Chain A
Amino acid sequence: MSDTEPATSDVSMPTDRASAPIDPRLLEILVCPITKGPLEYDRAAGELISRRAGLAFPVRDGIPIMLPEEARTLEP
């Protein structure tokens, strides 16, 4: 697509702050993008967990990444 560097290593979202806490207003409102059901917040792991979808969505630098393709599949 491009001959420039991909911007995924953007300095504004360093991975070493993966466990920065999520915005509390978001925590109140967010649901699973697939089931629209509730999410559990695992602060230590920096993940939002949808039990029904069996997915854990990462929180990177305080920003929830609510993309199914970026989520970790939960062990059954």
Chain B
Amino acid sequence: MSDNPAPSDRDDPSPSGGDTDFGFRRVARDQKKPMVRAVFDSVAPRYDLMNDLMSLGVHRVWKAILNTQLGPDARKTLLDLAGGTGDVGFNWLRAGGGPVLLSDINPAMLGVGRDRALARGFAADLSFLVADAECLPLPDRSVDRVSIAFGLRNCTDKDAVLREARRVLRPGGKFLCLEFSRVRVAALAPAYDAWSFRVLPRLGRMIAGDADSYQYLAESIRTFPDQEALAGMMRQAGLSRVAFRNLSGGIAAIHSGWRL
């Protein structure tokens, strides 16, 4: 756990208008959303399989740790953003958590999640909605937990997502973000680079028939704010007691913050 102050030099040169990151490319801000949508339309049917391959199955362990930090409780409501294929919501329900709102901007991803929910008998406790995490269709102070796993880096205006998460949380509610982060173990870095830029796009081509989308996914991981920068953005959005923990040497991290 860490609660270091954020560095003041955030590398985001475009507060509004202008351009934004799309992997290593810069694209017009209003172009990112449709481009990300095309990526996920393309990968949706094989997204779960690819996640297993990309992370060698480790994403399951990370999501289990996320679930523990969410603290499932039958009296609490969870809003899972970028919830697509349902992993986070299913873990919460398996552990006895209350109602889940599963939100994703991409109907194709949500369709996969609904099919899986029906197959697992979870459908009764899940509500599905297509929404943009930057402008949520929920009232202020309406949920107890907000989670986003491997979704924030695909959002155009990450600060808006964090503000919306805080807005919909009830006081005493908790926000958790699981996302790829910066490797903190130097010895891991060369192997991780080779994996994400040489192996991953090839796997994408072989399994999903789409190398470009997986190239984007690998690049988007590297352009995402590092641990301290994201913690700073969360404080800026009004979240309190912000902390993070590194997973697998910083390949991923779980950030947490409270609405007090």
- With A1-B42, A2-B42 already in contact, the answer to whether A10 and B127 are too (CB < 8 A) is no
Do B35 and A1 have beta carbons less than 8 Å apart?
yes
Do A33 and B108 have beta carbons less than 8 Å apart?
no
Do B114 and A12 have beta carbons less than 8 Å apart?
yes
- With A29-B139, A33-B135, A36-B139 already in contact, the answer to whether A6 and B41 are too (CB < 8 A) is yes
Do B213 and A1 have beta carbons less than 8 Å apart?
yes
Do B129 and A30 have beta carbons less than 8 Å apart?
yes
Q: For the complex, would chain A's binding face be called helix, strand, loop or mixed by DSSP majority?
A: loop
B137 in the interface (beta carbon within 8 A) = yes
Within the complex, the shortest CB–CB distance from B106 to chain A, in Å, comes to 9
Within the complex, the shortest CB–CB distance from A51 to chain B, in Å, comes to 15
Do A30 and B137 have beta carbons less than 8 Å apart?
yes
Which residues of B sit under 8 angstroms from A64, Cβ to Cβ? 129-130, 137
B149 in the interface (beta carbon within 8 A) = no
Bound Cα distance from A62 to B186, whole angstroms: 49
Within the complex, the shortest CB–CB distance from A76 to chain B, in Å, comes to 23
A74 in the interface (beta carbon within 8 A) = no
Which residues of B sit under 8 angstroms from A2, Cβ to Cβ? 38-39, 41-42, 209-210, 212-213
Do A30 and B107 have beta carbons less than 8 Å apart?
no
Do B130 and A23 have beta carbons less than 8 Å apart?
no
Do A63 and B107 have beta carbons less than 8 Å apart?
yes
Within the complex, the shortest CB–CB distance from B111 to chain A, in Å, comes to 4
- With A25-B99, A65-B130 already in contact, the answer to whether A7 and B44 are too (CB < 8 A) is yes
Bound Cα distance from A57 to B129, whole angstroms: 12
Interface-centre pick from B135, B137, B209, B212 (highest chain A CB count, 10 A): B137
| Chain B contacts to A: CB under 8 angstroms | 35, 38-39, 41-42, 44-45, 99, 101, 105, 107-108, 110-112, 114-115, 127-132, 135-140, 142, 208-210, 212-213
27 pairs, CB–CB < 8 Å, chain A vs chain B: A1-B42, A1-B212, A2-B39, A2-B41, A3-B210, A4-B42, A7-B44, A7-B108, A8-B41, A8-B107, A10-B108, A12-B111, A13-B107, A26-B127, A30-B138, A32-B137, A33-B132, A36-B140, A39-B137, A62-B128, A63-B107, A63-B130, A65-B107, A65-B130, A66-B129, A66-B130, A67-B132
Question: Closest 5 CB pairs between A and B?
Answer: A7-B108, A12-B111, A66-B137, A2-B42, A1-B38
